[in-house]
Chains A and B, each alone.
Chain A
Amino acid sequence: MSVLVLVEHDNTEIKAATLHTLDAAAKLGGDVVLLVAGENCGDVADAAAKINGVAKVLHADDAAYAHHLAENMSWLMKGMADGYTHILAPATTFGKNILPRLAALLDVAQISDIIAVESPDTFKRPIYAGNAIATVQSKDGVKVITVRGTAFPAVAAQGGSASVEKIESAGNYDKSSFVGQELSKSDRPELTSAKIVISGGRGMQSGENFHLLETVADKLNAAVGASRAAVDAGFVPNDFQVGQTGKIVAPDLYIAVGISGAIQHLAGIKDSKVIVAINKDEEAPIFQVADYGLVADLFDVLPEMAEKL
């Protein structure tokens, strides 16, 4: 058994989702080899070599990989796939963009968003927005898998001493190019790894009102999220969205403020340890999954919380 894990990084540091993916890799058994592909990302390769349990790091450094275009990444991986029984990546927009393209190049199925490893060929994954859990078995020679980070703990980023081996670039695909990006900047913790998340919904009524949430978030060192309704209404950017098609979170504490609780939103939060719902509509479905519910006007509650914390 030999497992190749695609490292998600920004050419400077490794994204936390990779460490969670590595726990799934460890559960498969066998050697774990990491692929770091990027541009001027030697520091990332060195950091990857220190991750606990890693046998080897393969490092491809080329402008073609600077922005992780799926065309170039999948082509590189196709060329080196021989000999691996499993190829894994985080089920983030990074992994979801690249891995299905690789799977098709290898003529194998992809198993998306696994939440448990039952055996080296059998996995559990959510379907229908997490309203059902399927157990699937793959007979493909190489199993191409994306991993839901919140379902696996992070492995230690330290303690390993793997070798780093440079590999050749597989070249640039000229029909696709990177133009630019607008990344949200925030001093708060990342949504998918924060211990506490506080999210706002349509009940927030405007983007300006999100500062009420942010004040509470800052007192709790929490990340700020949103329901689809709040994103669609333009209150906050898309990267705030928590739910079936947004981010999946599983913090110790999730506070839903002015969120009714559509099944698509619940899909993204139901593995949270403790859920708090604050909503003035006592019939809101969110209360059916909340450990603590407070039926009240959020415009009264949030300032009071900020004051008492």
Chain B
Amino acid sequence: MKILVAVKRVIDFNVKVRVKADQSGIETANVKMSMNPFDEIAVEEALRLKEAGKAAEVVAVTIGPAASVETLRTAMAMGADRGIHVLAEGDVEPLAVAKLLKGVVDKESPDIVFLGKQAIDNDCNQTGQMLAALADWPQATFASKVELMAGENGGAVAVTREIDGGLDTVKITLPAIITTDLRLNEPRYASLPNIMKAKKKPVDQMSPEDLAVDVTPRLTTLKVEEPPTRAAGIKVADVGELLDKLRNEAKVI
């Protein structure tokens, strides 16, 4: 079995982002970048299937500017066997990303594609579902548990999903798309020797043109602004004062 994992380079989750003064976007110059945390979980899940002898190869794919290759190296340092870099500048929307990934899926014929459920930059939560639609494959989003089911014709997987009311479980046949949620696993850190080894692993580069995908955005971002900020309030001395304020000042209880 072959597993494809999609990874995205985003501003590190610990960075407090700043809106550009001209409201055209977010300041990314000299800001620490990392792999989207949900994608780390996706890579980890693929590697665990490989280590359990269920998968033969784990291929990481990213879409983005030249520097995105760093994110592929991170995936390969974690243990992915090779990388695919679709070189694309600027903002590539989820629909275009899904079309590019569909092109890669057609070339690679994976049995499972893992993606993070959302990227923490645009918070869209769309790409996996869109890829599933374009490939006409079944989807299991927000996965917190993934179990391969033996003996099914062509293979199947039972996926437990984190939903608003609790958990649900779906069975999907392979090939399939799975998007990962926080509780699926705890991703490993890459060791220094593995970081060194990753530098020698092969990366195929291709362009949107190679995959015959038009990545022109469908949406125009008119402006990006700071949200209204909340000012810090007051400190109260004890429970009595707190309840008094809530009853008589804020009038919320």
Interface residues of A (CB under 8 A from B): 67, 69-71, 74, 92-94, 96-105, 107-113, 122, 126-140, 173, 175-184, 192, 196, 220, 228, 231-232, 237-239, 244-245, 247, 252-253, 263-264, 270, 273-276, 287-296, 301, 304-305, 308-309
Residue B35 CB within 8 A of the other chain: no
Residue B230 CB within 8 A of the other chain: yes
Please determine whether B250 and A100 come into contact, CB atoms closer than 8 angstroms.
no
Please determine whether A183 and B238 come into contact, CB atoms closer than 8 angstroms.
no
CB-CB under 8 A for A109 and B95, given A127-B224, A253-B250: yes
Please determine whether B123 and A274 come into contact, CB atoms closer than 8 angstroms.
no
CB-CB under 8 A for A136 and B252, given A97-B129, A104-B133, A264-B13: no
Q: Please indicate the chain A residues that have their CB under 8 angstroms from the CB of B234 in the complex.
A: 291-293
CA distance A74 to B139 in the complex (A): 12
Please determine whether B171 and A136 come into contact, CB atoms closer than 8 angstroms.
no
Please determine whether A111 and B132 come into contact, CB atoms closer than 8 angstroms.
no
Please determine whether B121 and A128 come into contact, CB atoms closer than 8 angstroms.
yes
CA distance A112 to B127 in the complex (A): 12
Please determine whether B95 and A181 come into contact, CB atoms closer than 8 angstroms.
no
Cβ contact of A133, chosen from B137, B162, B173, B224, cutoff 8 A: B224
Q: Which residue of A lies closest to B175 (CB)?
A: A175
Report how many A-B pairs have Cβ atoms within 8 Å: 258
Q: Which residue of B lies closest to A179 (CB)?
A: B169
CA distance A247 to B164 in the complex (A): 8
CA distance A132 to B252 in the complex (A): 28
How distant is A113 from chain B, measured CB to nearest CB, in Å?
7
Cβ contact of B162, chosen from A110, A180, A238, cutoff 8 A: A238
Please determine whether B123 and A244 come into contact, CB atoms closer than 8 angstroms.
yes
CB-CB under 8 A for A131 and B122, given A93-B163, A100-B130: no
Which stretch from B1-9, B195-203, B215-223 is at the chain A interface? B215-223
How distant is B22 from chain A, measured CB to nearest CB, in Å?
13
CA distance A71 to B134 in the complex (A): 11
Please determine whether A232 and B236 come into contact, CB atoms closer than 8 angstroms.
no
Q: Which 10 A-B pairs have the closest CB atoms?
A: A291-B233, A100-B129, A104-B130, A104-B133, A100-B126, A181-B168, A109-B218, A176-B138, A179-B169, A253-B252
Residue B232 CB within 8 A of the other chain: yes
Please determine whether B123 and A126 come into contact, CB atoms closer than 8 angstroms.
yes
Residue B124 CB within 8 A of the other chain: yes
Q: List 14 A-B contacts (CB under 8 A).
A: A67-B168, A92-B164, A100-B94, A101-B130, A103-B95, A128-B17, A131-B226, A132-B226, A136-B222, A178-B170, A179-B170, A180-B168, A232-B182, A295-B235
